[in-house]
Structure 1
């Protein structure tokens, strides 16, 4: 937090010391402000926009491990702040925070830690845990993998997709998500305008190429993958298929809400039949999940990945029940160093929305609103 505070102060000073001439030069590509370096954008206007970010938002960006999921803006939309500004902040933070001898990406590949963290921090997702651990064991124990590992996470909001992606980053790489062998893409930030698709293609391909060349094990995470423009597939395909130019064992993770309705219906059917959710197998969900993706048609990038048989594992995330939300609440209390009681956990969950209307079985927002509810209780 001390480093984040220092960077925030530097950002504020940077905003207030920019002159009109500086802004004009950078916007017109002078004084190194052009796009020769292949960055996603140019501009001191990005720094000025960043001054609008609240400290909570900056804290989430700098230190995701200290930020509850519910503290993010919806869909990482970052209202009033441009996508260029966020990319500027990401790159600026990397340059300022790195020491001179910092390697481009230290890799730990701690499978034991991955399994432990999934079992301890992720609730109600027995299928996701098993599929992920098995996938990474097979991939990392293969001395010469023939292709990148490609995982596709599917499920309702707040069921743990982003949390699991973060746990993977933390256990496979030193410094977690701040490791420079990791890139996380948000469609609303990085590919927001349909009119700029040709530019995005070039920029995305450059990002994938540069990291693949300098890192022995790149990790690329695409959030809200159902919102990624299909046109960008041409930039991604060379890096997810076996290629003579692909020298490193890359990992791709796509996160999406596609198929969540089908997953929820299977879980509800099991419950109505009096069967435990732990009895649900990957085979029970595989067909309805893929059928749901297939129904989207070729306008969705994940449809193309599936039809071309490029995804190694489709990982379903089940809807969370009241007991799972209480476990999330307990974890939040503990993380904040706050005492809690079973009564407090009951009160917290009673204020949340559960569906369907008759059964009120599944949390409509998973664990996403838990942290906010704790703030209200204090």
Structure 2
């Protein structure tokens, strides 16, 4: 019997490589791009649905000037100083320190107004922006015995927010009511350091608002008026030295003996002049226009006449600036509406 040899047959099954699918590849790539747009802080798509920090935003000098010209009255000096300061800071790709402005003058002269306009130019949402931070001395730092705690909290807050957005804006209102020593906590962030604990503060903006120094400004303005000079001839050099020394030595100021002044870290002390009746009338007209009303000069004059002025003899300057214009206009507006109803 013949032996049959077993034949071993090896069947080689080729490994199948899937054909390239352009559609699938496109979907994968599209998903990656979409994921980047949803989670990246630099995505234009994400920034269409929520506010993003514009790290390299250049301020629109023309728009800022137009806003100040249209909405801030009687403050030629403040407008000129701020425009020059902001232009220089914005055009510098690598500033050596943050921009630090200290605005001084009596209530109602436009300090808050100017700071809001400036904030809107940096971050369009203005005070509603998560990158613009407003501190009120009497609200956020009320207790004298907690100065140490406030300083720690303030440093942590600023460090965290500038880490999230280098162009953050910090506004400190009521500096004349802040406890001495609190504001010195931010001194390291204002100084000429490239970084502090790995964070650069050089593109941030800090603004102080204070009534301190208002008396000095008012006296200088009155002296100009008495000597027959135009208020528009008052220059920064006439007031800035008085302000820096006066505020530094004012025990009722949050900047009393402050290291921020001592180290010359405030770029500009910006004086806000007392407002004359003609400026009050401008405020009334602007408010009527903002409410959608035709300007009625009789009402404009009536509101201006109800304001109180100083000095008592000359009655040149409004002692509340334009601060109560809205409230007084409300009363006249109500009277006008009643007259219209009475006439049918």
Structure 2: distance between partners of 1:207 and 1:235: 11
Structure 1: distance between partners of 2:237 and 2:175: 23
Map residues 128-139 of structure 1 onto 2, 5 A cutoff: 128-139=78-89
Greater C-alpha radius of gyration: 2
How far 1:100 sits from its partner (Å)?
10
Map residues 68-217 of structure 1 onto 2, 5 A cutoff: 101-106=49-54, 107=57, 109-217=59-167
- Report the 3-state secondary structure (helix = DSSP H, G, I; strand = E; otherwise coil) of the residue aligned with 2:295: coil
How far 1:373 sits from its partner (Å)?
0.8
Higher helix share: 1
Structure 2: distance between partners of 1:212 and 1:177: 16
Cα distance 1:247–1:186, how it changes in 2: closer, same or farther (>3 A)?
A: same
1:346 aligns with 2:301: yes
Map residues 244-263 of structure 1 onto 2, 5 A cutoff: 244-245=195-196, 246-248=199-201, 249-263=203-217
More moved, 302-311 vs 178-187: 302-311
Q: Is the CA contact 1:150–1:311 (under 8 Å) kept in the aligned structure 2?
A: yes
1:355 aligns with 2:303: no
Structure 1: distance between partners of 2:185 and 2:220: 35
Structure 2: distance between partners of 1:336 and 1:330: 10
How far 1:205 sits from its partner (Å)?
1.2
How far 1:132 sits from its partner (Å)?
0.1
Provide Cα deviations, 1:306-328, integer angstroms capped at 9, x if missing partner. Answer: 22211100100000000000000
How far 1:168 sits from its partner (Å)?
0.3
Structure 2: distance between partners of 1:287 and 1:110: 30
Pairwise CA RMSD:
2.0
Provide Cα deviations, 1:147-196, integer angstroms capped at 9, x if missing partner. Answer: 11100000011000000000001112121111211111001111111232
TM-score for the superposition, normalised by structure 1: 0.71
Structure 1: distance between partners of 2:181 and 2:216: 27
- Report the 3-state secondary structure (helix = DSSP H, G, I; strand = E; otherwise coil) of the residue aligned with 2:63: helix
- Report the 3-state secondary structure (helix = DSSP H, G, I; strand = E; otherwise coil) of the residue aligned with 2:107: coil
Q: Is the CA contact 1:225–1:302 (under 8 Å) kept in the aligned structure 2?
A: no
How far 1:242 sits from its partner (Å)?
2.2
Q: Is the CA contact 1:111–1:172 (under 8 Å) kept in the aligned structure 2?
A: no
How far 1:101 sits from its partner (Å)?
4.9
Could you tell me which residue of structure 2 aligns to residue 287 of structure 1?
A: 241
How far 1:200 sits from its partner (Å)?
1.7
TM-score for the superposition, normalised by structure 2: 0.77
Provide Cα deviations, 1:71-98, integer angstroms capped at 9, x if missing partner. Answer: xxxxxxxxxxxxxxxxxxxxxxxxxxx9
Structure 2: distance between partners of 1:101 and 1:219: 22
Structure 2: distance between partners of 1:146 and 1:298: 31
- Report the 3-state secondary structure (helix = DSSP H, G, I; strand = E; otherwise coil) of the residue aligned with 2:102: strand
Q: Is the CA contact 1:108–1:174 (under 8 Å) kept in the aligned structure 2?
A: no
Structure 1: distance between partners of 2:181 and 2:248: 18
Provide Cα deviations, 1:20-74, integer angstroms capped at 9, x if missing partner. Answer: xxxxxxxxxxxxxxxxxxxxxxxxxxxxxxxxxxxxxxxxxxxxxxxxxxxxxxx
Could you tell me which residue of structure 2 aligns to residue 301 of structure 1?
A: 255
Provide Cα deviations, 1:90-144, integer angstroms capped at 9, x if missing partner. Answer: xxxxxxxx99952443456222211110111100000000000000111111110
Provide Cα deviations, 1:239-298, integer angstroms capped at 9, x if missing partner. Answer: 111222242411110000111111101111111111110011111112322332233159
More moved, 340-349 vs 139-148: 340-349
Q: Is the CA contact 2:250–2:256 (under 8 Å) kept in the aligned structure 1?
A: no
Structure 2: distance between partners of 1:341 and 1:101: 42
Residue 323 of structure 1 is aligned with which of 278, 290, 299? Answer: 278
Equivalent pairs, count:
281
Structure 2: distance between partners of 1:299 and 1:122: 26
Could you tell me which residue of structure 2 aligns to residue 314 of structure 1?
A: 269
Structure 2: distance between partners of 1:183 and 1:302: 23
Q: Is the CA contact 1:329–1:345 (under 8 Å) kept in the aligned structure 2?
A: yes
Any stretches of 5+ residues in structure 1 without a counterpart? 1-97
